[in-house]
Amino acid sequence: MTVDLRSDTVTKPSQAMRAAMAAADVGDDVYGEDPEINALEAEAAALFGHEAALFVPTGTMGNQIGVALHAAPGDEVLCDIGAHLLAYERGGSAAFFGITSRTIVTADGICDPAAYEAQVREGDWHTVGTRVLQVENTHNRGGGRVQPLAALRGLRRVADDAGIAVHCDGARIWNAHVASGVPLHAYGQLFDTVSVCLSKGLGAPVGSLLISTADRMGRARVLRGRMGGAMRQAGVLAAAGRYALKNNLERLAQDHARARRLADALVPYGLVDPAQVQTNLVMINLPAPRPDAATVARAAAEAGVLVSAMDERRVRLVTHLDVSDDDVDVAIKVLTGILT
Ligand SMILES: *Cc1c(COP(=O)(O)O)cnc(C)c1O
C-alpha cells in the first residue's frame, strides 16, 4: 500500500463523481452551449459574489489570464517571492503577455500590505507601472498558510489608493475558507479577479475557474481561446467540478485535522513549526545535520510513503480526500522512523 502525500492534485475521481460525469448533459462550450459548464460558472460566480466565471483547464491558465486582464505588455505584477505565479508557471505571464514582475520577500508568504505599498509604482516615461497586486490564499510555498483577512483588506486599500487591481491565486481558497470560516463571498469582494482550482483538495480530475465581472470574463474568453484553452463538450469535467463543490468542500476540515495530527507527531522532534500548520499542508524543516529533502523523500518512498522535496531542506506533506486516518498513522511511523 502506498500513502501519497505529494500533493492534493493526486486525488482520483470517486465512483459517485464518475457517475455525475457520465450523466452530464453536454454541448459545445465554444458556442456557449454546454449546460454543465454554464451552471458551474454561474454557481462559482455566485459563491464569490461576482457576476461571472470562466471554466479553464488549469489554475495556471486562470492566473495567466487573470493578471493579463489588468496589465498590458510592459506593465508589472507585484507578488510574493514564493508565488505560484512566478515559481511554477514557467514564466507564462512574461512569455505570453509581456508582463514583468517584481517580488516582495516574505518568509511564509503572508501578505504585508505595507510592503506592497512601498513597491507600487505609477509608471511614467522612465519607469514601469504596477497594474496588479497578486496574492495567494492559501499560500503553497508558505506551507498552506491562510492569509489574514485584515491583511487582505489592507491590500485592497493599497490597490484602491493606487487605482490598480488585485488578483488572488485561490487554488486552495477553499481550504482558507474552511479553516478560517471567512465566507467565500467575503474573500471575493476583496479581489478584482480570483482563480480557483477544482482539481486540488476538492478532488475533481481537471479544471479551474477564473471569477470576476461579466465584462472581464468576456475578455477572458478571448484570451482563453487564444491560449488554446477553449474546450468543447467539457461538461463532463464541469460535472465533476459541480459534484466536488457540492460534496467535497466542507470535508476539507478532515484533511486539516489529519494534517494537524501529522504535524503534532513531528513537532516534538523539532521537524515542524506548529504555528505554520493551518490547512492541509505540512512542511518538514530539515536543517543540517539532518538528511536533505531528496534523501528523506527517497527513504520514505522506499517505505511506501510519497512526499515532495519542496526545497533542498524542506519536505512537503499534503493531506487530501484519498488519505485516511490509517494512512496518517503509516506516514507518522515511516517519517519518525527515518528522522528520529
Ligand atoms: C496548483 C496551483 C495552481 C494551479 O496549478 P495547475 O496545475 O495549473 O492547475 C496555482 N496556484 C497554486 C498556489 C497552486 O497550488
Q: pLDDT band for position 31 (50/70/90)? A: very high
Q: What is the pLDDT of residues 239-294, one digit of tens each?
A: 999 999 999 999 999 999 999 999 999 999 999 999 999 999 999 999 999 999 99
Cα–Cα distance measured from residue 203 to residue 54, given in angstroms and rounded to the nearest whole number: 19
Distance between CA atoms of 145 and 298, rounded to whole angstroms? 26
Q: What is the mean pLDDT of residues 8-25?
A: 98
Over residues 186-199, mean pLDDT: 98
Q: What is the DSSP string of 38-60?
A: HHHHHHHHHHTT-SEEEEES-HH
Question: How many angstroms does the Cα of residue 69 sit away from the middle of ligand 1?
Answer: 19
- Our measurement of the distance from residue 214's CA atom to the centroid of its chain's CA atoms, rounded to an integer in Å, reads 23
Residue 17 pLDDT > 90, yes or no?
yes
All 3 cell numbers of residue 178? Answer: 474552511
- Ligand 1 centre and the CA of 59: distance in Å? 5
- Give tens-digit pLDDT for 194-232: 999 999 999 999 999 999 999 999 999 999 999 999 999
Q: Parallel, antiparallel, or unpaired for β 314-318 and 281-285? A: antiparallel
Regarding the beta carbon of 59 and ligand 1, being less than 6 Å apart is answered yes
Q: Which phi-psi region, left, alpha or beta, contains residue 166 (left: φ > 0; alpha: ψ -120 to 50)?
A: beta
84 lines ligand 1 (CB under 6 A): yes
- Give the Å distance between the CA of 196 and the centre of ligand 1: 9
Band of residue 1 on the pLDDT scale cut at 50, 70, 90? confident
Residue nearest to atom 8 of ligand 1 (CA): 60
Tell me the pLDDT of the chain averaged across its residues.
Answer: 97
Q: Is the CB of 4 under 6 A from ligand 1?
A: no
Residue 107 has pLDDT above 90, yes or no: no
The residue among 242, 282, 220, 332 whose CA lies nearest residue 25 is 242
Domains recognised in the chain with CATH numbers: 15-247 (3.40.640.10), 251-339 (3.90.1150.10)
Supply the pLDDT for residue 294.
Answer: 98
Q: Which of 139, 168, 169 to mutate to test the pocket of ligand 1 (most atoms within 8 A of CB)?
A: 169
Please report where in the chains the cell 498558510 appears, as a residue: 145
**Does the Cβ of 80 fall within 6 Å of ligand 1?**
no
